[in-house]
Amino acid sequence: MPNRIVRIPSAKAKPHMTRPLRLVQITDTHLFRDQSEDLRGIATLPALRAVLRHAADAIAGADALLVTGDVVQDDAGGYVHFREAFAALGKPVLCIPGNHDDVPEMRRALAAPPFIMDPHVDIGGWRIVLLDSVKPGEASGALSDAALAALSQSLAGAGDRHVLVCLHHHPVDMQSRWLDTVGLDNPDDLFRILDAHTNVRALTWGHVHQAWEGERRGVRLLATPSTCTQFLPAADDFAIDTRPPAYRILELAAGGGIETEVVWLDRFAAEAASSSSSVG
């Protein structure tokens, strides 16, 4: 794929913004064609809609939305719901695929604005790098030679911009025995390239259905929970957590600093529990 540069101007923005860049990260929506279909007890489309309502103020003040994979749950019919929900928000939507996505179908469904699936996007003083880590038919991921070459080119060509790198699969252990068998297969290749550049400020990913933060060589490492069900952290075997849907807000400062918050829909959990207890 050609490494086309997309630049998104902001209101009153200069070539390099002096105000922070604001992103809202949404991940692992796992949509189906059937609007009522659920994933492990949570109907995914209503959950996504609840997240978008909850995040409305944050989205209104954001420069773009960032979606880090598993848009659908092995059902390309879900892309129509995703497209309808996000096209109405009036913001650029930066998207990467996950292991449950059909990448060709996803690219066809999201081929027009406001959706962007390019290798990187420049917004003010930041470059957002969008990596495809999908291995078709497999839960784990890997960065192909082409993806690694595009990453190198994106970092080398960023000039004095700070860089946020985004992917679906986790490149570091989550201290969860089952989950760490389905992460990124070649993290050493990724970090070898990142270590050769001084402009990378953070990596963020989805896939793990939980919140996690760390740091490696001065680079922030961020995992973001799903808009539907969450995985139990540090579990040896597959287990579902009781935490509700969530999203992440990122504020990327002109000087390269990052402030971030994971926002949980606690009211959603309470309403779901109330609804469950009233059945029967």
Per-domain residue ranges for the chain?
Answer: 5-278
* Alpha carbon distance 182, 256 (integer Å): 31
The answer to whether residues 216 and 188 touch, using CB atoms and an 8 Å cutoff, is: no
What confidence score (pLDDT) does residue 7 get?
Answer: 53
The answer to whether residues 118 and 2 touch, using CB atoms and an 8 Å cutoff, is: no
Q: Is the pLDDT of residue 273 over 90?
A: no
What confidence score (pLDDT) does residue 19 get?
Answer: 85
What confidence score (pLDDT) does residue 9 get?
Answer: 46
- Encode pLDDT of 229-258 as tens digits: 999 999 999 999 999 999 999 999 999 999
Cα separation of the two ends of the chain: 54
Q: Is the pLDDT of residue 136 over 80?
A: yes
* Low-confidence winner among 2-16, 99-113, 131-145, 150-164 (lowest mean pLDDT): 2-16
Q: Which two tokens stand for residue 54?
A: 């909850």
Three-state DSSP class for 139?
coil
What confidence score (pLDDT) does residue 17 get?
Answer: 57
Q: Is the pLDDT of residue 168 over 50?
A: yes
The amino acid sitting at 243 is R
The amino acid sitting at 15 is P
Pick the CATH number of 5-278 from 1.10.760.10, 3.40.462.20, 3.10.129.10, 3.60.21.10: 3.60.21.10
What confidence score (pLDDT) does residue 18 get?
Answer: 74
Q: Is the pLDDT of residue 198 over 90?
A: yes
Question: Within 10 Å of residue 99's Cβ, how many Cβ atoms?
Answer: 21
44-54 and 79-87 helices cross at what angle (nearest 10)?
10
Higher local confidence (pLDDT), 228 or 268: 228
CA-CA-CA-CA torsion for 229, 165, 147, 194, nearest 10 degrees? -130
Q: Is the pLDDT of residue 8 over 60?
A: no
* Residue 146: partners with Cβ closer than 8 Å, 6 or more residues away: 1
Question: Within 10 Å of residue 185's Cβ, how many Cβ atoms?
Answer: 16
Three-state DSSP class for 10?
coil
Q: Is the pLDDT of residue 269 over 80?
A: no
Give the pLDDT band of residue 141 (cuts 50, 70, 90): very high
Three-state DSSP class for 204?
strand
Residue with tokens 């929506």: 29
Q: Is the pLDDT of residue 54 over 80?
A: yes
Q: Exposed/middle/buried for 196, CB within 10 Å: 0-12, 13-18, 19+?
A: exposed
Region 109-123 average pLDDT = 97
Q: Could you tell me what percent of the chain has a pLDDT over 90?
A: 88
